[in-house]
């Protein structure tokens, strides 16, 4: 069993990595996609909003599917669809082809995000210690690589299909091979197994609501950085155009670093302390950004944001799995929807506040929202069991067999 779980962990980490590459390649080449298809500035927001909306639909459908189909199977086939849809975005030349490709991408991403995190939660339960942040670190690493590849494509003025095809050509077969070792670990029961879909509908969502709010607030913060950091640094803090591109890259790097070491923090101090610390660091980051006198101070604030926000989302998924060990798949699928809710709210919220009030003031709103996480921090406490350090239970108690060390 030890070797099976190790292979499952490595293969799932590659799935997270591949998804990070694919998503970064899409979002960082939006201007090139817009030019290729002649999408107007007025129509572009509709196309961009459609992806997370359809991803939410994909997550809802996945919750239904996992009552009959293992999450590993959904992940095995949704990841190739995401990669092929990405290639479809690059290969088309008519607006309708772009719409179809983005629709396929959105639906498949919802299924992919939900099933990946389902497997991550169930594997963490089998391990009996925190490993969830490591999977999201792999996603961050993929995002950095994808953004770098997109920069290279833009720098050398490569056609989208020329830029995307080699990446898909490598990742697609690799993902299919890696999917052979996905593990639907013990303890990841569906809502049906927990006592029926009706029971899950009434009980799971009520208890899940605090985590849904935390997920939404975390993604509002993330969307603020990804959509407004460059404009804020250039227009508000007076940086050069070149320097304005740096904060998001710094944010991604610090997100990777924070997630790479975050599991050790959870094992040592517990999830509640790590989430509280992350929320406080992120709030300080927003405060520094809002009050920055110059570009370099603003960049320091965005650096703190990466270190703070990066731990919240993975631990939110993990907390859902611990709260509902018999219905973790349903809990993760529902929680995943609020990923997209936060993404949809974040960018227009900051833009509207910036236009109506000021962009400095707008940065205080996600600061307050991320601080609300402190109110719900107890939702991250393990129930009868804890992961890590003095709180860690043996893996034997998690899966009922096997050695205590992996």
C-alpha torsion sign, points 367, 209, 314, 278: positive
Domains of the chain, CATH where assigned: 1-180 (1.20.1250.20), 196-387 (1.20.1250.20)
Q: Which residues touch 165 (CB under 8 Å, ≥6 apart)?
A: 87, 90
Residue 294 has pLDDT above 50, yes or no: yes
Give the predicted TM-score (pTM) of the model.
Answer: 0.88
Average pLDDT over residues 34-38: 92
H/E run at residue 162: helix 160-178
Give the pLDDT band of residue 204 (cuts 50, 70, 90).
low
pLDDT tens per residue across span 149-178? 988 888 899 999 999 999 999 999 999 999
Range from 213-217, 272-276, 352-356 carrying the lowest mean pLDDT: 352-356
Is residue 155 classed exposed, middle or buried when 0-12, 13-18 and 19+ CB atoms within 10 A define those classes? exposed
Rounded to the nearest 5 degrees, what angle is found at the Cα of 372, between the Cα atoms of 344 and 265?
100
3-state secondary structure of 386: strand
Number of CB atoms found within 10 A of residue 348's CB = 13
Residue 325 pLDDT level (bands cut at 50, 70, 90): confident
Residue 355 DSSP label: H
**Is residue 53 scored above 60 in pLDDT?**
yes
Contact 239, 301 (CB under 8 A): no
> Which residues lie closer than 8 Å to 246 by C-beta, 6 or more apart?
233, 299
- Residue 211: its pLDDT value, please? 96
pLDDT tens-digit series, residues 339-378: 999 999 988 999 999 999 999 999 999 999 999 999 999 9
Could you tell me which of 117, 89, 107, 71 has the C-alpha nearest to residue 29? 89
Q: Return the pLDDT at 186.
A: 52
Query: C-alpha angle with apex 216: 117 to 260, nearest 5 degrees?
Result: 50
Please determine, for residue 403, whether its predicted confidence score (pLDDT) is greater than 80: no
> Across the strands, what pairs with 392?
386
pLDDT at position 317? 96
Mean pLDDT of the chain: 88
Question: 403: which 2 tokens?
Answer: 């050695």
């983005």: which residue's tokens?
102
Q: Is the pLDDT of residue 230 over 70?
A: yes
Q: How does pLDDT run across 122-134, given as a tens digit for each residue? A: 999 999 999 999 9
Q: How many CB atoms lie within 10 A of CB 156?
A: 9
pLDDT at 384 > cutoff 60:
no
Give SS3 for 392.
Answer: strand
86-108 pLDDT, tens digit per residue, is: 999 999 999 999 999 999 999 99
Q: Residues 378-398: what's their mean pLDDT? A: 52
Residue 96: count of CB within 10 angstroms of its CB = 9
Residue 207's contacts (CB-CB under 8 Å, 6 or more residues apart) are 323, 324
């Amino acid at each position: 069993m030890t070797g099976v779980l190790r292979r499952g962990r490595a293969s799932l980490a590659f799935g997270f990595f591949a998804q990070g590459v694919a998503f970064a390649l899409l979002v960082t080449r939006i201007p090139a996609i817009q030019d290729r298809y002649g999408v107007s500035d007025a129509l572009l927001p509709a196309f961009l909003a459609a992806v997370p909306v359809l991803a939410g639909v994909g997550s809802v459908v996945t919750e239904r599917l996992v009552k009959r189909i293992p999450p590993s199977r959904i992940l095995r086939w949704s990841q190739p669809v995401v990669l092929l849809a990405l290639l479809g975005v690059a290969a088309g030349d008519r607006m309708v082809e772009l719409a179809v490709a983005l629709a396929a991408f959105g639906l498949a991403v919802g299924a992919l995000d939900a099933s990946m995190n389902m497997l991550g939660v169930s594997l963490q339960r089998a391990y009996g210690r925190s490993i969830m942040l490591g999977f999201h670190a792999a996603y961050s690493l993929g995002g950095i690589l994808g953004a770098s590849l997109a920069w290279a494509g833009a720098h050398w003025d490569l056609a989208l299909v020329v830029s995307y095809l080699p990446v898909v050509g490598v990742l697609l077969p690799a993902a299919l091979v890696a999917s052979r070792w996905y593990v639907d670990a013990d303890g990841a029961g569906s809502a049906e197994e927990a006592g029926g879909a009706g029971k899950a509908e009434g009980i799971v969502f009520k208890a899940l609501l605090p985590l849904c709010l935390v997920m939404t607030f975390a993604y509002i913060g993330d969307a603020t950085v990804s959509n407004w950091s460059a404009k804020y640094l250039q227009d508000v803090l007076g940086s050069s155009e070149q320097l304005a591109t740096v904060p998001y890259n710094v944010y991604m790097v610090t997100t990777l670093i924070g997630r790479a070491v975050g599991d050790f923090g959870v094992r040592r101090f517990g999830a509640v302390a790590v989430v509280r610390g992350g929320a406080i660091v992120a709030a300080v980051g927003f405060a520094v950004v809002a009050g920055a006198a110059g570009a370099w101070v603003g960049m320091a604030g965005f650096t703190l944001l990466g270190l703070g926000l990066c731990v919240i989302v993975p631990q939110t998924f993990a907390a859902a799995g611990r709260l509902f060990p018999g219905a973790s798949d349903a809990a993760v699928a529902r929680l995943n929807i609020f990923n997209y809710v936060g993404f949809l709210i974040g960018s227009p919220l900051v833009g509207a506040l910036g236009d109506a009030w000021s962009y400095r003031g707008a940065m205080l709103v996600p600061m307050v929202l991320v601080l609300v996480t402190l109110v719900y921090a107890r939702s991250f406490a393990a129930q009868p069991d804890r992961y890590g350090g003095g709180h860690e239970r043996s893996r034997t108690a998690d899966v009922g067999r096997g050695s205590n060390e992996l």
